[in-house]
Structure 1
Amino acid sequence: MALQINRCVAMGRLLLVNFLLCCSVSAYAQNNDIVIGQSTALTGILAELGVPHSTAAKAYFDYINSQGGVNGRKIRLITLDDAYDATKSIANAKQLIEKEKAVALFGMLGTPANTALTPLLEETGIISFAPVTGAEVVRKPFNRKIFNIRAGYATETEKIIDHLNVRGIKKVGVVYQNNAFGKEGLAGIEQAASKFQLKLTVVTSINSDSSDLDKAVSSMETAGVQSIILITAGKPSSDFIQAFNKKVKGMQYFALSVLASQASINTMGKDGVGTIISQVLPFPFSATTSLVREYQKVMSKMGIKEYSYIGIEGFLDAKVFVEAIKRAGRDVNSERLITALEGMGRTDFDGFVVSFSKTNHQGSDYVELTVVSKDGRFLR
């Protein structure tokens, strides 16, 4: 009996040692991870952008991890929900920096959040990589802590105004969202219109909850415009188009890339057919370039079945960031990442060129126009 008890005690000690060893190995592996922090809209009015961007980025990081990681280390993306609330976004950013020890912020969504984030970047020295906004506030004045991939709203709006100019359309109305994003976009429209000597016929705002929808619709109807440019995201976009189509048939709408989610197109339904939307990433639905083929291959391998513009943006953002980590070496921090990114110069990521330097952190100015088809797809 005593021998049996001694064997049980010995077995118990062995199991405890193994358990503690496993815990130690697991803790070491996690402590050895390269932590990247993201605050985005996983719920709320812009979840249709936040979720697919974060999902695609994580899928790419997980794919790289499955290949052994980078410089012998795994990448761990920690994503927190802010529901497109700038105050919550900043609280999340502080948690990611202070508690999670993130080496960089990644894919922070929205103009309001990124506007509020700038002082925190200066205070902590952390970088913000690939913010999901085209606002000038993350582009001018130059900030060495911010690296943009997507083209700015000013570039998108200039493409739209140029298209209108070529078509000879002179009576143009603008509906802008009454927040930081909308005002930034409006400034870009006004700048582009001035360049092409186009006088905007009417400009009106709309609240994020569409509470003043009737006012916006009435302003456009009274002005008798030929085309309407929407500087809106989420609910106000579909609300305005559906309401205006009840008043005026056959209006030509233009919108920025923030309206390029399949959820937005589905919400607009038949009212969205013919809407022209500017895009800042390559067409993700046809494998016409190496980048798109890789995107589709990795997403499929990681269990993601739907392709999208915001998805390929998350994928590309992650791909460029992995390249920066490779160049930064094993001991990654914000300063090493800045040096690595600025040293990239002009780099072709399989069909999409990104260019960074010590004086330029605007990675791309790529913009093309797409149109929504009758069956709810994007056509080039």
Structure 2
Amino acid sequence: MFLKLNRCKAMVRLLLVNLILCCSVSAHADANDIVIGQSTALTGILAELGVAHSTGAKAYFDYVNSQGGVNGRKIRLITLDDAYDAKKSLANAKELIEKEKAVALFGMLGTPANTALLPVLEEANILSFAPVTGADVVRKPFNRRIFNIRAGYTTETEKIIDHLNVRGIKKIGVVVQNNAFGKEGLAGIEQAITKHQLKLTATVSINSDSSDLDKAVSAMEAADVQTIILITAGKPSSDFIQAFNKKVKGMQYFALSVLASQAGITALGKDGVGVIISQVLPFPYSATTTLVREYQKVMSKMGVKEYSYLGIEGFLDAKVLVEAIKRAGKDVNSDRIITALEGMGRTDFDGFIVNFSKNNHQGSDYAELTVVSKDGRFLR
């Protein structure tokens, strides 16, 4: 039964990937379209995150187009697969800018990709809207061409450290992925730790392919910590937790929002129960706000029954961008969208507040903690 369920979910993800790719390939219909470009992981270790985000965004753009578009023009989201490879993402971005004439880049996934993208934004004078990363590299120093919706890793890690401080937990271990994402996440942890006048008991690195898993587990076991914070994405997360649980029973794990995918939780199995994960978007599974109700309604119309945090993130990102495009007027370009975003101020998007200005391109600092239940669901 479990295998059949996994096969069904895999088939659904494959269909969604094919739908996104088909739309990207065939979406050259009208020169009057407003082209939005996205490079993300439709395959590879973070495929579920990329597919969910892109599907949520496309659902909203399609909904807007079905209502007549924006100022009489349709929005065309072109999504290219980079398999979470920064070099491929960079090549995709250049294709989207030079060949597809995108007026903005959207939902670019991952710290490595967004770091590599910085010089391109300058050269092409193009907007990067709602990058899917909490890294400071897209937040500091201030960059007029970058607008963030999701809270940064510093905000997420502060939420976790605040929780641990209240509980009186002092012996804290951190597992850091050996890439740009891991380094950025660790910087956030160190900042939050210093705020509470605490010190990390142990910091252990792990490769993205888990090739040094045994070494990482042994080092953390020797540190004798009370809790472990994972600054990891994809395979290393589940690999480490499962391997460490074989050595040490009853460990409490904390993870950032990049672990908030159903595939990640499914991969953990019984080892996922009790893992606490920070979130930067509203709980997408209960229709408690107008935004969540609209998200669920539009996704259901698309035939997507599995709601997700990355799905509602893509949906909200698209919703905010559409509002900026409306305010930009008929002659849409990056500079006009940037000006519209900076003039938006504090705006309520059906229960989710986004606040932009000329000096502030960080739209939200929303963060909360969720826990994985015995039946593999997220609970608030």
Using structure 2 for the length normalisation, give the TM-score. 0.92
One-letter identity of the residue aligned with 2:192: A
Q: Give 1:79 shift.
A: 0.3
Structure with larger Rg: 1
SS in 2 for 1:366: coil
Alignment partners' CA distance in 1, 2:28 and 2:175: 53
Report if aligned partners of 1:63, 1:302 keep a CA contact under 8 Å in 2. Answer: no
Alignment partners' CA distance in 1, 2:188 and 2:27: 49
One-letter identity of the residue aligned with 2:110: G
1:311 aligns with 2:311: yes
Instruction: Report matched runs for 1:343-354 at 5 Å.
Output: 343-354=343-354
Alignment partners' CA distance in 2, 1:216 and 1:49: 25
Report if aligned partners of 2:233, 2:259 keep a CA contact under 8 Å in 1. Answer: yes
Q: Which residue of 2 aligns with 1:169?
A: 169
Using structure 1 for the length normalisation, give the TM-score. 0.92
Q: Which residue of 2 aligns with 1:21?
A: none
Change (3 A) 1:27 1:200: closer
Q: Give 1:361 shift.
A: 0.2
Q: Which residue of 2 aligns with 1:286?
A: 286
Alignment partners' CA distance in 2, 1:140 and 1:27: 35
Alignment partners' CA distance in 2, 1:131 and 1:296: 23
Alignment partners' CA distance in 2, 1:197 and 1:164: 13
Alignment partners' CA distance in 2, 1:91 and 1:293: 37
Structure 1, residues 84-133: CA drift from partner, whole Å, max 9, x if none?
00000000000000000000000000000000100000001000000000
Alignment partners' CA distance in 2, 1:144 and 1:324: 15
Instruction: Report matched runs for 1:14-93 at 5 Å.
Output: 30-93=30-93
Alignment partners' CA distance in 1, 2:302 and 2:334: 29
Report if aligned partners of 1:161, 1:193 keep a CA contact under 8 Å in 2. Answer: yes
Alignment partners' CA distance in 1, 2:186 and 2:92: 29
Q: Which residue of 2 aligns with 1:109?
A: 109
Q: Which residue of 2 aligns with 1:18?
A: none
Q: Give 1:28 shift.
A: 9.9
Report if aligned partners of 1:204, 1:219 keep a CA contact under 8 Å in 2. Answer: yes
1:178 aligns with 2:178: yes
Alignment partners' CA distance in 2, 1:222 and 1:91: 43
SS in 2 for 1:116: helix
RMSD over aligned Cα atoms: 1.1
Report if aligned partners of 2:174, 2:229 keep a CA contact under 8 Å in 1. Answer: yes
Alignment partners' CA distance in 1, 2:112 and 2:180: 6
Instruction: Report matched runs for 1:118-197 at 5 Å.
Output: 118-197=118-197
Instruction: Report matched runs for 1:351-366 at 5 Å.
Output: 351-366=351-366
Structure 1, residues 231-272: CA drift from partner, whole Å, max 9, x if none?
000000000000000000110000000000011000001001
SS in 2 for 1:43: coil
Alignment partners' CA distance in 2, 1:28 and 1:235: 36
Alignment partners' CA distance in 2, 1:377 and 1:28: 40
5+ long unaligned stretches in structure 1: 1-25
Alignment partners' CA distance in 1, 2:349 and 2:79: 25
Alignment partners' CA distance in 1, 2:303 and 2:361: 33
1:337 aligns with 2:337: yes
Report if aligned partners of 2:27, 2:78 keep a CA contact under 8 Å in 1. Answer: no
Structure 1, residues 19-78: CA drift from partner, whole Å, max 9, x if none?
xxxxxxx99961010000000000001101101100110111011111111100000000
Alignment partners' CA distance in 2, 1:27 and 1:45: 27
Q: Which residue of 2 aligns with 1:371?
A: 371
SS in 2 for 1:134: coil
Alignment partners' CA distance in 2, 1:137 and 1:102: 23
One-letter identity of the residue aligned with 1:209: D
Q: Give 1:330 shift.
A: 1.0
